[in-house]
Structure 1
């Protein structure tokens, strides 16, 4: 987990950003600690959400400022805890990474791509959404690489997502000769992509698309089953142990449940 700070952050600017709002806040200490994949937990100062905050993605850090992705315009000052969560790890040596993002969840992948490129890796994007209007970061992704594939469920942009997303991801992995997959998508799409990557021997890291009611680990509302290195499945909190996990260790079929073989399941159930 990151080393977060608690601060009142001044909102410096708000602008439309795809289907969301890009909100720039001033918080120098948090900005210095940011890594792609981190998120923030927000509340309005003096409000009633002192425990249950809104968890939102951090898009990037620029000097003393953080860019956040919110669904609507915020108040002028935010009660902020950031950065939170476990970020995407960087490869030990340069390689070729496929970045799969869906809807606004794709936002943090853009800063990740910049970091990968700075480290000498090649990157390619697959951006998916229900409709063309929900695609996020297309122009920014195209500014980083010529390899950008669009998928929409209704076929209004790019290729139709269809019933075989694993096949589409497999084709992209094969065409790129990718050795690493990063995802920020719905559990269904991430599970399909991770399955395709695992069959091809490609390491995957995924930001699990779980609801984070508080973002700080207090409410236990984001637990999910994950298989540890010792092979034992345990319930972990997406907001503290994640949201980024080794994709092959997530029990995708058990999300939202307590599988019987999870350690401690007999006590929790």
Structure 2
């Protein structure tokens, strides 16, 4: 029987919540969403008093728990909507739609993979690393952030990858510097496939380094997605199509994962 793929809209529940550094990790019971999950997809969560929903990367899924299948998301409380989400207690009801968007494409054969993530946006790289390891790929993971409190799961990273590089811009932990400072050296280490998730500057630098070194690259873009389902057309993404023609697509449906060499970075 084929696995279910179409997203669902469900009445979910917060079943666990914890603060980790600058972020709030929420575990949600959202029936049907974990079963449809693929690495790189996201959920859209309704926020009280707001029309636009908040798009959240899926960090982890658990096939079974006391609450049934669950999913973990990471909230960076920077605005009214994300502050509201981060404050939701255990037992709170939440409206969840997902999983949404295009996931990462997986290589057919075992290859050497470099995964580059910045701050909370590194979340989708952790389930991706698990899938790649299941396929026999050698996985190296880069986790970066401005400072230590904004690193995502640096200890978990060491369980997910063959090698881990930690970068902080202020040098508070790991190597000092940013992804653009170090990515050329990292990609040059006999890497076949590069995946990246994070702010635009990180993705652009990683995609450019991959192209210089002949590696295939996919990036998970962080674009505002007011509806998350493609209906509002509020998340324009300028790309070059497979036919070589410039066009604008929707980041929430034709993305958020796209080939790094297809994005028109200067127009993003």
| TM bucket normalised to smaller | 0.7 to 0.9
Q: Out of 89-98 and 24-33, give the one that drifted further.
A: 24-33
Deviation string, structure 1 residues 80-124 (Cα, Å, up to 9, x no partner): 101011111111111111000000000110111011101111101
Which residue of the partner structure matches residue 25 of structure 1? 28
Structure 1 stretches of 4+ moved >4 Å: none
Name stretches of at least 5 consecutive residues in structure 1 with no aligned partner. Answer: 256-269
Contact 2:223–2:235 (8 Å) recurs in 1: yes
Aligned counterparts of 1:184 and 1:239: Cα–Cα separation in 2: 15
Q: How does 1:1-269 map to 2 (within 5 A)?
A: 3-44=6-47, 47-49=48-50, 51-63=51-63, 64-71=69-76, 72-74=86-88, 76-161=92-177, 165-166=179-180, 168-175=182-189, 177-255=190-268
Aligned-pair CA distance for 1:200: 0.9
Instruction: For residue 28 of structure 1, give the secondary structure of its aligned residue in structure 2.
Output: coil
Measure the CA separation in 2 of the matches of 1:188 and 1:99: 16
Cα deviation, residue 144, structure 1: 2.1
What CA distance in whole angstroms lies between the structure 2 residues aligned with 1:240 and 1:74? 28
What is the CA-CA distance between 1:234 and the residue it aligns to?
0.6
* Cα distance, 1:197 vs structure 2: 0.4
Once the 2 structures are TM-superposed, how far is the Cα of residue 146 of structure 1 from its aligned partner? 4.4
1:258 is matched with none
User: 1:18–1:137: 8 Å Cα contact kept in structure 2?
Assistant: no
Deviations 1:47-86 (A, max 9, x none): 444x521111111221211112223132501011010111
Aligned mates of 2:28, 2:175 — CA distance in 1: 36
- Could you state the TM-score of these two structures normalised by the residue count of structure 2? 0.88
Alignment size in residue pairs: 248
Secondary structure, counterpart of 2:124 in structure 1: helix
CA contact (8 A) 1:86 1:240 kept: yes
Once the 2 structures are TM-superposed, how far is the Cα of residue 129 of structure 1 from its aligned partner? 0.9
Q: Is the 8 A contact 1:110 1:137 kept in 2?
A: no
CA contact (8 A) 1:103 1:185 kept: yes
TM-superposed deviation, 1:167: 5.7
- d(CA) in 1 for partners of 2:143, 2:27: 24
Distance in 2 of aligned mates of 1:146 and 1:62: 23
